[in-house]
Amino acid sequence: VGAARVAVEKAGPRLAEAAWPVAASDAFFPFADGPRLLADAGVRCIVQPGGSRRDDETIALCDERSITCLLTGVRHFRH
């Protein structure tokens, strides 16, 4: 949720001005709290690799809020 918070703060007023705000993550969301924060900020599309045991919670949140949720199936970093 920390990275989502930083993204919203950095976007600032541009987020409210965007016609279709999109947030992209290089990792899955382990919980729905990050996507919830993004949704509350006005994000209309979330792009992420997916693969969390709780993907269903994030997908349900997006469905409830009419947010497009794109699961790419591709991780962009390795530990």
pLDDT band at residue 51 under the 50/70/90 scheme: very high
| Res 54: pLDDT | 97
* Residue 62 banded pLDDT, cuts 50, 70, 90: very high
* pLDDT for the residue 3: 95
Q: Which of 5, 41, 55, 45 has its CA nearest to residue 23?
A: 45
- Residue type for 52, please? S
Q: Kindly list the structural domains of the chain, giving each domain's residue range(s) and its CATH number in brackets, ordered by start.
A: 2-71 (3.40.140.20)
pLDDT score of 78 more than 80: no
* Average pLDDT of the segment spanning 53-61: 98
